[in-house]
A and B are shown apart, each in its own frame.
Chain A
Amino acid sequence: MPVIDMSSNPQCERQHPAPQRAEVVVVNPNGTLKNVFVWIKSGLAPAHWAPPAEPARLDQHGCVYQPHVLGIMKDQRLEILNSDPVNHNVHAESVTNPAWNESQPPRAEHKFKQFDTQEVLFPVTCSVHPWMRSYVGVSPHPFFAVTGDDGSFTLQGVPPGTYTIEAVHEKYGRKEGNVTVTPGGAATLEFTYGS
Protein backbone atom coordinates (compact mmCIF):
# COMPACT_ATOMS: atom_id res chain seq x y z
CA MET A 1 0.00 0.00 0.00
CA PRO A 2 1.15 3.57 -0.58
CA VAL A 3 3.17 5.40 2.03
CA ILE A 4 1.28 8.19 3.79
CA ASP A 5 2.87 11.60 3.37
CA MET A 6 2.63 13.18 6.81
CA SER A 7 4.97 16.07 6.04
CA SER A 8 2.11 18.55 6.38
CA ASN A 9 2.25 17.92 10.11
CA PRO A 10 5.78 17.18 11.39
CA GLN A 11 4.44 16.17 14.80
CA CYS A 12 2.63 13.32 13.09
CA GLU A 13 5.64 12.39 10.99
CA ARG A 14 7.98 12.27 14.00
CA GLN A 15 5.89 9.54 15.59
CA HIS A 16 6.77 7.09 12.86
CA PRO A 17 10.43 6.04 12.65
CA ALA A 18 9.53 4.02 9.53
CA PRO A 19 7.22 5.24 6.78
CA GLN A 20 3.58 4.66 7.66
CA ARG A 21 1.63 2.78 5.02
CA ALA A 22 -2.05 3.18 4.33
CA GLU A 23 -4.28 0.34 5.56
CA VAL A 24 -6.81 0.36 2.73
CA VAL A 25 -5.67 -3.08 1.56
CA VAL A 26 -3.57 -5.12 3.97
CA VAL A 27 -2.68 -8.57 2.69
CA ASN A 28 -1.41 -10.84 5.43
CA PRO A 29 1.71 -13.03 4.92
CA ASN A 30 -0.60 -16.02 4.39
CA GLY A 31 -2.36 -14.26 1.52
CA THR A 32 -5.49 -13.40 3.47
CA LEU A 33 -7.09 -10.02 3.82
CA LYS A 34 -6.99 -8.00 7.02
CA ASN A 35 -9.61 -5.48 8.17
CA VAL A 36 -12.68 -7.17 6.71
CA PHE A 37 -15.82 -6.69 8.79
CA VAL A 38 -17.80 -9.94 9.02
CA TRP A 39 -21.25 -10.24 10.57
CA ILE A 40 -24.49 -12.19 10.51
CA LYS A 41 -26.60 -10.27 8.07
CA SER A 42 -29.78 -12.30 8.37
CA GLY A 43 -31.17 -15.52 9.76
CA LEU A 44 -31.18 -14.70 13.45
CA ALA A 45 -34.47 -15.14 15.28
CA PRO A 46 -35.83 -11.81 16.53
CA ALA A 47 -34.29 -11.12 19.91
CA HIS A 48 -32.85 -8.32 21.95
CA TRP A 49 -29.15 -8.43 22.66
CA ALA A 50 -27.97 -6.08 25.34
CA PRO A 51 -24.88 -4.08 24.32
CA PRO A 52 -21.69 -4.72 26.32
CA ALA A 53 -21.09 -2.43 29.27
CA GLU A 54 -17.50 -1.94 28.10
CA PRO A 55 -17.15 0.72 25.42
CA ALA A 56 -15.45 0.01 22.12
CA ARG A 57 -12.31 2.14 21.69
CA LEU A 58 -11.11 4.20 18.77
CA ASP A 59 -7.78 5.88 19.29
CA GLN A 60 -6.02 8.56 17.25
CA HIS A 61 -2.41 7.56 17.65
CA GLY A 62 0.44 8.55 15.36
CA CYS A 63 -2.14 10.42 13.29
CA VAL A 64 -3.83 7.21 12.25
CA TYR A 65 -7.00 5.67 13.61
CA GLN A 66 -6.51 2.52 15.66
CA PRO A 67 -8.10 0.13 14.91
CA HIS A 68 -8.62 0.73 11.22
CA VAL A 69 -11.91 -1.21 11.22
CA LEU A 70 -14.04 -1.40 14.31
CA GLY A 71 -17.16 -3.39 15.10
CA ILE A 72 -19.62 -2.12 17.67
CA MET A 73 -23.08 -3.09 18.80
CA LYS A 74 -25.89 -0.63 18.47
CA ASP A 75 -26.32 1.38 21.67
CA GLN A 76 -22.84 0.32 22.81
CA ARG A 77 -20.68 3.25 23.79
CA LEU A 78 -17.78 4.22 21.56
CA GLU A 79 -14.88 5.79 23.42
CA ILE A 80 -12.75 8.08 21.26
CA LEU A 81 -9.27 9.04 22.39
CA ASN A 82 -6.69 11.46 21.08
CA SER A 83 -3.27 10.13 22.08
CA ASP A 84 -1.52 12.53 19.71
CA PRO A 85 0.08 15.88 20.51
CA VAL A 86 -1.93 17.47 17.71
CA ASN A 87 -5.52 18.57 17.05
CA HIS A 88 -7.88 16.20 15.31
CA ASN A 89 -11.44 16.42 14.16
CA VAL A 90 -13.52 13.27 14.28
CA HIS A 91 -16.13 13.07 11.55
CA ALA A 92 -18.52 10.12 11.63
CA GLU A 93 -19.80 9.95 8.06
CA SER A 94 -22.72 7.74 8.97
CA VAL A 95 -25.82 7.82 6.80
CA THR A 96 -28.44 5.85 8.73
CA ASN A 97 -27.23 7.19 12.07
CA PRO A 98 -26.90 10.95 12.52
CA ALA A 99 -23.51 12.14 11.22
CA TRP A 100 -21.39 14.36 13.43
CA ASN A 101 -18.08 16.21 13.33
CA GLU A 102 -16.27 17.34 16.47
CA SER A 103 -12.82 18.61 17.28
CA GLN A 104 -10.60 16.81 19.74
CA PRO A 105 -7.52 18.72 20.86
CA PRO A 106 -4.50 16.96 22.42
CA ARG A 107 -5.09 15.74 25.97
CA ALA A 108 -8.77 16.51 25.62
CA GLU A 109 -11.28 14.41 27.51
CA HIS A 110 -12.30 11.19 25.82
CA LYS A 111 -15.44 11.39 23.75
CA PHE A 112 -18.28 8.92 24.17
CA LYS A 113 -20.68 8.30 21.32
CA GLN A 114 -23.45 5.79 20.57
CA PHE A 115 -25.17 4.65 17.42
CA ASP A 116 -28.73 3.48 17.77
CA THR A 117 -29.25 1.98 14.31
CA GLN A 118 -27.59 -0.87 12.44
CA GLU A 119 -25.13 0.47 9.82
CA VAL A 120 -22.37 -1.53 8.11
CA LEU A 121 -19.91 0.18 7.37
CA PHE A 122 -19.35 3.91 7.49
CA PRO A 123 -16.13 5.90 7.52
CA VAL A 124 -14.82 7.99 10.37
CA THR A 125 -12.44 10.61 9.02
CA CYS A 126 -10.25 13.50 10.07
CA SER A 127 -10.06 16.53 7.79
CA VAL A 128 -7.05 17.96 9.61
CA HIS A 129 -5.14 14.90 8.40
CA PRO A 130 -6.96 13.74 5.26
CA TRP A 131 -5.21 10.34 5.19
CA MET A 132 -6.88 9.41 8.50
CA ARG A 133 -9.81 7.12 7.87
CA SER A 134 -11.30 4.26 9.84
CA TYR A 135 -14.49 2.27 9.36
CA VAL A 136 -17.14 1.43 11.89
CA GLY A 137 -19.72 -1.33 11.59
CA VAL A 138 -22.75 -1.06 13.87
CA SER A 139 -24.40 -4.42 14.41
CA PRO A 140 -27.74 -5.06 16.14
CA HIS A 141 -26.30 -8.25 17.69
CA PRO A 142 -22.95 -9.41 19.04
CA PHE A 143 -22.13 -11.75 16.14
CA PHE A 144 -19.56 -9.78 14.25
CA ALA A 145 -15.78 -9.74 13.89
CA VAL A 146 -12.96 -8.05 12.01
CA THR A 147 -10.32 -10.16 10.28
CA GLY A 148 -6.89 -9.85 11.80
CA ASP A 149 -3.30 -10.72 10.99
CA ASP A 150 -4.18 -14.25 9.84
CA GLY A 151 -7.32 -13.25 7.95
CA SER A 152 -9.57 -15.39 10.10
CA PHE A 153 -12.71 -14.41 11.96
CA THR A 154 -14.71 -16.08 14.71
CA LEU A 155 -18.32 -15.48 15.61
CA GLN A 156 -18.86 -17.11 19.00
CA GLY A 157 -22.06 -18.22 20.70
CA VAL A 158 -24.14 -18.25 17.55
CA PRO A 159 -27.40 -20.14 18.16
CA PRO A 160 -28.17 -23.11 15.89
CA GLY A 161 -29.67 -22.10 12.57
CA THR A 162 -28.97 -21.13 9.00
CA TYR A 163 -27.52 -17.70 8.42
CA THR A 164 -26.39 -15.32 5.75
CA ILE A 165 -22.95 -14.03 6.64
CA GLU A 166 -21.68 -10.87 5.03
CA ALA A 167 -18.06 -9.78 4.66
CA VAL A 168 -17.51 -6.09 4.00
CA HIS A 169 -14.24 -4.55 2.88
CA GLU A 170 -13.75 -0.81 2.39
CA LYS A 171 -12.26 -1.24 -1.10
CA TYR A 172 -13.41 -4.62 -2.34
CA GLY A 173 -16.98 -4.33 -1.15
CA ARG A 174 -19.48 -6.90 0.04
CA LYS A 175 -19.56 -10.68 -0.19
CA GLU A 176 -22.21 -13.00 1.16
CA GLY A 177 -22.21 -16.66 2.13
CA ASN A 178 -24.62 -19.05 3.86
CA VAL A 179 -23.78 -21.26 6.77
CA THR A 180 -25.67 -23.68 9.00
CA VAL A 181 -24.76 -24.03 12.65
CA THR A 182 -25.82 -27.23 14.40
CA PRO A 183 -26.38 -27.47 18.16
CA GLY A 184 -22.99 -27.56 19.84
CA GLY A 185 -21.25 -27.60 16.49
CA ALA A 186 -19.06 -25.27 14.53
CA ALA A 187 -19.21 -24.15 10.93
CA THR A 188 -16.62 -22.71 8.62
CA LEU A 189 -17.10 -20.18 5.86
CA GLU A 190 -14.49 -18.77 3.54
CA PHE A 191 -14.78 -15.59 1.48
CA THR A 192 -12.66 -14.95 -1.58
CA TYR A 193 -12.01 -11.51 -2.99
CA GLY A 194 -10.76 -11.63 -6.54
CA SER A 195 -8.79 -8.89 -8.18
Chain B
Amino acid sequence: MAAEPNFHPGLHRWSMVLAFCTLLLVVAGGTVTSRDAGLSVPDWPLSYGKIMPPMEGGILYEHGHRMIATMVGLFTIVSMVWLFRVEKRRWLRILGVIALLAVIAQGVLGGLTVLLLLPWYISSAHASLAQLFFSTTVAITLFTSSWWLRGPALTDEDPRYPVRGLSLAAPFCVLGQLALGAAARHKAIGSIYHICGAPIVTGVVLWISLRILLHYAGNRELRSAAVALTGITFCQVFLGIAAYMTRIAYADAVQPMPLMVTFTVLHVAVGALTMAASVSLAILVRRNLIAAEVSYPALAVAK
Protein backbone atom coordinates (compact mmCIF):
# COMPACT_ATOMS: atom_id res chain seq x y z
CA MET B 1 0.00 0.00 0.00
CA ALA B 2 1.36 3.43 -0.93
CA ALA B 3 2.28 5.71 1.93
CA GLU B 4 -0.09 8.56 2.61
CA PRO B 5 1.49 11.79 1.33
CA ASN B 6 0.73 13.75 4.52
CA PHE B 7 1.73 10.98 6.88
CA HIS B 8 4.70 11.76 9.11
CA PRO B 9 5.66 8.54 10.89
CA GLY B 10 8.04 10.33 13.25
CA LEU B 11 5.34 12.74 14.38
CA HIS B 12 2.87 9.90 14.87
CA ARG B 13 5.33 7.88 16.91
CA TRP B 14 6.14 10.96 18.96
CA SER B 15 2.41 11.48 19.60
CA MET B 16 2.16 7.89 20.82
CA VAL B 17 5.10 8.45 23.18
CA LEU B 18 3.45 11.64 24.47
CA ALA B 19 0.15 9.84 25.09
CA PHE B 20 1.91 6.96 26.87
CA CYS B 21 3.92 9.36 29.06
CA THR B 22 0.72 11.24 29.87
CA LEU B 23 -0.91 8.03 31.04
CA LEU B 24 2.19 7.43 33.16
CA LEU B 25 1.73 10.93 34.55
CA VAL B 26 -1.90 10.19 35.43
CA VAL B 27 -0.70 7.06 37.27
CA ALA B 28 1.95 9.11 39.10
CA GLY B 29 -0.61 11.76 40.06
CA GLY B 30 -3.06 9.14 41.28
CA THR B 31 -0.29 7.57 43.35
CA VAL B 32 0.53 10.91 44.99
CA THR B 33 -3.09 11.36 46.10
CA SER B 34 -3.57 7.74 47.15
CA ARG B 35 -0.40 7.79 49.22
CA ASP B 36 -1.34 11.10 50.87
CA ALA B 37 1.93 12.49 49.56
CA GLY B 38 0.55 15.66 47.96
CA LEU B 39 2.07 17.97 50.55
CA SER B 40 5.30 16.08 51.17
CA VAL B 41 7.09 18.77 49.17
CA PRO B 42 5.75 22.07 50.52
CA ASP B 43 7.50 24.37 48.03
CA TRP B 44 6.96 24.79 44.29
CA PRO B 45 8.33 24.94 41.62
CA LEU B 46 11.49 23.79 43.43
CA SER B 47 11.40 20.84 45.82
CA TYR B 48 12.97 21.52 49.22
CA GLY B 49 14.65 24.45 47.47
CA LYS B 50 16.37 22.08 45.04
CA ILE B 51 15.88 20.62 41.60
CA MET B 52 16.52 17.16 43.02
CA PRO B 53 15.57 16.59 46.67
CA PRO B 54 16.30 13.35 48.54
CA MET B 55 13.81 10.86 47.13
CA GLU B 56 12.53 9.44 50.43
CA GLY B 57 9.05 8.59 51.65
CA GLY B 58 6.31 10.69 50.08
CA ILE B 59 8.87 12.95 48.38
CA LEU B 60 9.58 10.09 45.96
CA TYR B 61 5.97 10.17 44.75
CA GLU B 62 5.43 13.93 44.73
CA HIS B 63 8.76 14.86 43.18
CA GLY B 64 8.57 11.86 40.82
CA HIS B 65 5.20 13.21 39.68
CA ARG B 66 6.76 16.63 39.10
CA MET B 67 9.62 15.11 37.09
CA ILE B 68 7.27 13.17 34.82
CA ALA B 69 5.10 16.30 34.48
CA THR B 70 8.12 18.32 33.39
CA MET B 71 8.98 15.67 30.83
CA VAL B 72 5.42 15.62 29.49
CA GLY B 73 5.46 19.43 29.31
CA LEU B 74 8.66 19.38 27.26
CA PHE B 75 7.32 16.59 25.03
CA THR B 76 4.17 18.64 24.42
CA ILE B 77 6.26 21.64 23.32
CA VAL B 78 8.15 19.39 20.89
CA SER B 79 4.86 17.98 19.65
CA MET B 80 3.42 21.43 18.98
CA VAL B 81 6.56 22.64 17.18
CA TRP B 82 6.58 19.44 15.11
CA LEU B 83 2.93 19.91 14.18
CA PHE B 84 3.63 23.49 13.10
CA ARG B 85 6.59 22.42 10.97
CA VAL B 86 5.04 19.54 9.04
CA GLU B 87 1.29 19.44 9.52
CA LYS B 88 -0.93 21.00 6.84
CA ARG B 89 -4.20 20.68 8.72
CA ARG B 90 -4.70 23.99 10.52
CA TRP B 91 -7.17 22.57 13.03
CA LEU B 92 -4.62 19.96 14.09
CA ARG B 93 -1.97 22.64 14.61
CA ILE B 94 -4.50 24.48 16.77
CA LEU B 95 -5.09 21.27 18.71
CA GLY B 96 -1.34 21.16 19.35
CA VAL B 97 -1.52 24.67 20.81
CA ILE B 98 -4.53 23.70 22.93
CA ALA B 99 -2.56 20.73 24.26
CA LEU B 100 0.33 23.00 25.21
CA LEU B 101 -1.97 25.50 26.93
CA ALA B 102 -3.64 22.64 28.78
CA VAL B 103 -0.35 21.23 30.04
CA ILE B 104 0.77 24.69 31.18
CA ALA B 105 -2.54 25.22 32.99
CA GLN B 106 -2.14 21.77 34.49
CA GLY B 107 1.31 22.63 35.83
CA VAL B 108 0.04 25.88 37.35
CA LEU B 109 -2.91 24.07 38.98
CA GLY B 110 -0.49 21.48 40.36
CA GLY B 111 1.71 24.19 41.86
CA LEU B 112 -1.24 26.14 43.26
CA THR B 113 -2.76 23.13 44.92
CA VAL B 114 0.51 22.49 46.77
CA LEU B 115 1.00 26.13 47.79
CA LEU B 116 -2.64 26.52 48.90
CA LEU B 117 -2.62 23.21 50.83
CA LEU B 118 -4.79 21.12 48.52
CA PRO B 119 -8.05 23.09 48.28
CA TRP B 120 -10.57 20.63 46.85
CA TYR B 121 -11.59 22.83 43.91
CA ILE B 122 -8.04 23.21 42.62
CA SER B 123 -7.09 19.59 43.29
CA SER B 124 -10.27 18.38 41.54
CA ALA B 125 -9.67 20.71 38.59
CA HIS B 126 -6.08 19.42 38.38
CA ALA B 127 -7.31 15.80 38.37
CA SER B 128 -10.05 16.47 35.79
CA LEU B 129 -7.85 18.49 33.43
CA ALA B 130 -5.35 15.63 33.52
CA GLN B 131 -8.01 13.35 32.03
CA LEU B 132 -8.89 15.89 29.34
CA PHE B 133 -5.24 16.40 28.47
CA PHE B 134 -4.70 12.66 28.13
CA SER B 135 -7.67 12.43 25.76
CA THR B 136 -6.20 15.30 23.73
CA THR B 137 -2.90 13.45 23.33
CA VAL B 138 -4.78 10.30 22.27
CA ALA B 139 -6.79 12.33 19.75
CA ILE B 140 -3.58 13.82 18.31
CA THR B 141 -2.19 10.29 18.00
CA LEU B 142 -5.35 9.27 16.17
CA PHE B 143 -5.24 12.26 13.81
CA THR B 144 -1.56 11.78 12.93
CA SER B 145 -1.93 8.07 12.08
CA SER B 146 -1.68 6.83 8.47
CA TRP B 147 -4.92 4.99 9.09
CA TRP B 148 -6.71 8.29 9.76
CA LEU B 149 -5.15 9.90 6.70
CA ARG B 150 -6.43 7.11 4.45
CA GLY B 151 -9.87 8.57 5.00
CA PRO B 152 -13.08 7.47 6.68
CA ALA B 153 -14.91 4.19 6.19
CA LEU B 154 -18.23 5.83 5.42
CA THR B 155 -21.55 4.38 6.46
CA ASP B 156 -25.00 5.92 6.23
CA GLU B 157 -26.62 6.64 9.54
CA ASP B 158 -29.91 4.83 9.92
CA PRO B 159 -32.48 7.49 10.92
CA ARG B 160 -34.22 4.90 13.09
CA TYR B 161 -31.03 4.41 15.13
CA PRO B 162 -29.25 7.77 15.26
CA VAL B 163 -25.91 7.69 17.03
CA ARG B 164 -23.99 10.74 15.81
CA GLY B 165 -25.46 13.01 18.48
CA LEU B 166 -25.69 10.25 21.04
CA SER B 167 -21.99 9.46 20.75
CA LEU B 168 -21.18 12.89 22.21
CA ALA B 169 -23.03 12.00 25.41
CA ALA B 170 -20.44 9.39 26.44
CA PRO B 171 -17.40 11.70 26.81
CA PHE B 172 -19.46 14.29 28.68
CA CYS B 173 -20.89 11.66 31.04
CA VAL B 174 -17.47 10.10 31.60
CA LEU B 175 -15.91 13.51 32.26
CA GLY B 176 -18.67 14.32 34.75
CA GLN B 177 -18.10 11.00 36.49
CA LEU B 178 -14.34 11.59 36.59
CA ALA B 179 -14.92 15.05 38.08
CA LEU B 180 -17.20 13.53 40.75
CA GLY B 181 -14.52 10.94 41.49
CA ALA B 182 -11.88 13.65 41.81
CA ALA B 183 -14.13 15.72 44.09
CA ALA B 184 -14.76 12.65 46.26
CA ARG B 185 -11.05 11.86 46.44
CA HIS B 186 -10.33 15.41 47.54
CA LYS B 187 -13.09 15.22 50.16
CA ALA B 188 -15.36 17.87 48.65
CA ILE B 189 -18.28 15.44 48.41
CA GLY B 190 -19.09 11.96 49.59
CA SER B 191 -18.22 8.91 47.50
CA ILE B 192 -21.95 8.23 47.13
CA TYR B 193 -22.27 10.74 44.25
CA HIS B 194 -19.48 9.02 42.31
CA ILE B 195 -20.96 5.61 43.12
CA CYS B 196 -24.43 6.72 41.94
CA GLY B 197 -22.92 8.13 38.77
CA ALA B 198 -21.31 4.81 37.85
CA PRO B 199 -24.49 2.97 36.68
CA ILE B 200 -25.61 6.06 34.74
CA VAL B 201 -22.32 6.37 32.86
CA THR B 202 -22.15 2.61 32.31
CA GLY B 203 -25.70 2.71 30.98
CA VAL B 204 -24.91 5.52 28.54
CA VAL B 205 -21.78 3.72 27.34
CA LEU B 206 -23.72 0.48 26.90
CA TRP B 207 -26.54 2.26 25.08
CA ILE B 208 -24.15 3.80 22.55
CA SER B 209 -21.97 0.72 22.19
CA LEU B 210 -24.90 -1.65 21.77
CA ARG B 211 -26.51 0.62 19.21
CA ILE B 212 -23.29 0.57 17.20
CA LEU B 213 -22.78 -3.17 17.62
CA LEU B 214 -26.39 -3.95 16.69
CA HIS B 215 -26.83 -1.53 13.80
CA TYR B 216 -23.40 -0.49 12.53
CA ALA B 217 -21.33 -3.62 13.16
CA GLY B 218 -20.44 -3.70 9.48
CA ASN B 219 -18.21 -0.68 10.00
CA ARG B 220 -15.06 -2.25 11.41
CA GLU B 221 -13.71 0.98 12.90
CA LEU B 222 -16.89 1.72 14.80
CA ARG B 223 -17.23 -1.89 15.90
CA SER B 224 -13.68 -1.98 17.28
CA ALA B 225 -14.08 1.36 19.06
CA ALA B 226 -17.40 0.28 20.63
CA VAL B 227 -15.96 -3.05 21.81
CA ALA B 228 -12.91 -1.27 23.26
CA LEU B 229 -15.01 1.31 25.11
CA THR B 230 -17.33 -1.35 26.53
CA GLY B 231 -14.43 -3.55 27.66
CA ILE B 232 -12.59 -0.67 29.30
CA THR B 233 -15.76 0.55 31.02
CA PHE B 234 -16.44 -2.88 32.52
CA CYS B 235 -12.83 -3.06 33.80
CA GLN B 236 -13.35 0.38 35.28
CA VAL B 237 -16.52 -0.67 37.13
CA PHE B 238 -14.72 -3.69 38.58
CA LEU B 239 -11.77 -1.53 39.66
CA GLY B 240 -14.12 1.02 41.20
CA ILE B 241 -15.79 -1.67 43.31
CA ALA B 242 -12.39 -3.06 44.33
CA ALA B 243 -11.07 0.41 45.21
CA TYR B 244 -14.15 1.15 47.32
CA MET B 245 -14.03 -2.19 49.11
CA THR B 246 -10.35 -1.86 49.99
CA ARG B 247 -10.99 1.68 51.19
CA ILE B 248 -13.67 0.39 53.57
CA ALA B 249 -11.53 -2.56 54.65
CA TYR B 250 -8.62 -0.25 55.52
CA ALA B 251 -10.68 2.60 56.95
CA ASP B 252 -8.86 2.37 60.28
CA ALA B 253 -5.38 1.93 58.83
CA VAL B 254 -2.81 4.43 60.01
CA GLN B 255 -1.24 4.78 56.59
CA PRO B 256 -2.23 4.13 52.95
CA MET B 257 -2.29 0.37 52.40
CA PRO B 258 -0.68 -1.07 49.24
CA LEU B 259 -3.77 -2.94 48.02
CA MET B 260 -5.98 0.13 48.40
CA VAL B 261 -3.38 2.28 46.65
CA THR B 262 -3.04 -0.23 43.80
CA PHE B 263 -6.77 -0.52 43.08
CA THR B 264 -7.38 3.21 43.42
CA VAL B 265 -4.52 4.15 41.10
CA LEU B 266 -5.64 1.55 38.56
CA HIS B 267 -9.15 2.98 38.80
CA VAL B 268 -7.80 6.47 38.07
CA ALA B 269 -5.68 5.22 35.15
CA VAL B 270 -8.47 3.16 33.59
CA GLY B 271 -10.73 6.18 34.12
CA ALA B 272 -8.37 8.11 31.84
CA LEU B 273 -8.52 5.26 29.31
CA THR B 274 -12.34 5.25 29.51
CA MET B 275 -12.39 8.97 28.79
CA ALA B 276 -9.98 8.59 25.87
CA ALA B 277 -11.95 5.63 24.48
CA SER B 278 -15.23 7.57 24.66
CA VAL B 279 -13.64 10.58 22.94
CA SER B 280 -12.16 8.33 20.24
CA LEU B 281 -15.50 6.61 19.66
CA ALA B 282 -17.26 9.98 19.34
CA ILE B 283 -14.61 11.16 16.86
CA LEU B 284 -14.96 7.99 14.77
CA VAL B 285 -18.75 8.08 14.81
CA ARG B 286 -18.77 11.72 13.68
CA ARG B 287 -16.26 10.92 10.93
CA ASN B 288 -17.59 7.64 9.62
CA LEU B 289 -21.34 8.00 9.86
CA ILE B 290 -23.03 10.13 7.23
CA ALA B 291 -25.78 12.05 8.94
CA ALA B 292 -29.24 10.83 8.09
CA GLU B 293 -31.39 13.37 6.37
CA VAL B 294 -34.33 14.11 8.56
CA SER B 295 -37.45 15.04 6.68
CA TYR B 296 -40.12 17.12 8.31
CA PRO B 297 -43.71 17.25 7.17
CA ALA B 298 -44.34 20.36 5.13
CA LEU B 299 -45.86 23.18 7.05
CA ALA B 300 -48.66 25.07 5.51
CA VAL B 301 -48.42 28.70 6.36
CA ALA B 302 -51.71 30.48 6.12
CA LYS B 303 -51.58 34.07 5.08
Decide: B39 and A130 in contact? CB cutoff 8 A. Answer: no
Residues of chain B with a CB closer than 8 A to A101's CB: 39, 42, 117
| Contact B254 A4, beta carbon cutoff 8 Å | yes
**Further contacts, 15 of them, CB under 8 A, given A2-B253, A87-B53:** A2-B254, A5-B255, A9-B57, A12-B57, A22-B254, A24-B252, A100-B117, A101-B42, A127-B37, A128-B56, A128-B57, A128-B59, A130-B36, A130-B256, A131-B254
User: A105 to B43, alpha carbons, bound, how many Å?
Assistant: 13
Contact status A8-B253, CB under 8 Å: no
Contacts A87-B54, A91-B117; A128 near B40 (Cβ below 8 A)? yes
- CB neighbours (8 Å) of B53 from chain A are 87
**Which of A1, A2, A87, A133 is close to B59, meaning CB atoms less than 8 Å apart?**
A87
Taking beta carbons and an 8 Å cutoff, which residues of A are in contact with B?
1-2, 4-5, 8-9, 11-12, 22, 24, 86-87, 89, 91, 99-103, 105, 126-131, 133
Q: Which of chain A's residues have a CB closer than 8 A to the CB of B41?
A: 89, 103
Verify A130–B42 contact, CB threshold 8 A.
no
What B residues does A99 contact at CB under 8 A? 117
Residues of B within 8 A of A128 (CB): 37, 40, 56-59
User: Which of B48, B60, B255 is within 8 Å of A130, CB to CB?
Assistant: B255
Out of A2, A11, A24, A102, which one reaches B56, CB within 8 Å?
A11
Are B36 and A127 in contact (CB-based, < 8 A)? yes
**Chain A nearest CB, measured from B127 CB (Å):** 17
B36-72 at interface with A (beta carbon < 8 Å) = 36-43, 48, 53-54, 56-60, 62
Residues of B contacting A2 in the complex (Cβ-Cβ under 8 angstroms): 252-254
A174 to B43 CA separation, bound complex (whole angstroms) = 35
**Interface presence of B35 (CB below 8 A):** yes
Q: Name the one of B42, B43, B58 contacting A129, with C-beta atoms under 8 angstroms.
A: B58
Q: How far is the CA of A56 from the CA of B278 in the complex (A)?
A: 56
From A1, A11, A24, A103, contact of B48 by CB (8 A):
A103
A24 (CB) vs chain B CBs: closest residue: B254
Q: Inside 8 A of B40's CB, which chain A residues have their CB?
A: 89, 126-128
B60 cross-chain contacts in A, Cβ below 8 A: 8
Nearest chain A CB to B230 CB, angstrom units: 37
Pair B253/A129 contact, Cβ less than 8 Å: no
CA A131 – CA B253 in complex, angstroms? 9
How far apart are A49's CB and chain B's nearest CB, in angstroms? 30
In the assembled complex, the Cα of A77 lies from the Cα of B220 at a distance in Å of: 71
**How far is it, in angstroms, between the C-alpha of A87 and the C-alpha of B41 when the chains are bound?**
10
Identify the closest chain A residue to B49 (Cβ): A103
Bound Cα distance from A155 to B121, whole angstroms: 42
Q: How far is the CA of A104 from the CA of B58 in the complex (A)?
A: 14
User: In the complex, which residues 58-90 of chain B have their Cβ closer than 8 Å to any Cβ of chain A?
Assistant: 58-60, 62
Determine whether the beta carbon of A8 is less than 8 Å from that of B117: no
- The complex places the Cα of A167 from the Cα of B99 at a distance, in Å, of 54
- Complex contacts, B254 vs chain A, CB 8 Å: 1-2, 4, 22, 24, 131, 133
Q: Report how far A8 CA is from B35 CA in the complex, Å.
A: 11
Cβ-defined contact, B39 with A89, below 8 A = yes
**Which of chain B's residues have a CB closer than 8 A to the CB of A130?**
35-37, 58, 255-256
**Residues in A whose Cβ lies below 8 Å from that of B42:** 89, 91, 101-103
B53 closest partner in A (C-beta): A87
Q: What are 13 A-to-B residue pairs whose CB atoms are below 8 Å?
A: A2-B252, A9-B56, A89-B42, A91-B117, A103-B41, A127-B36, A127-B37, A128-B40, A128-B56, A128-B58, A130-B37, A130-B58, A131-B254
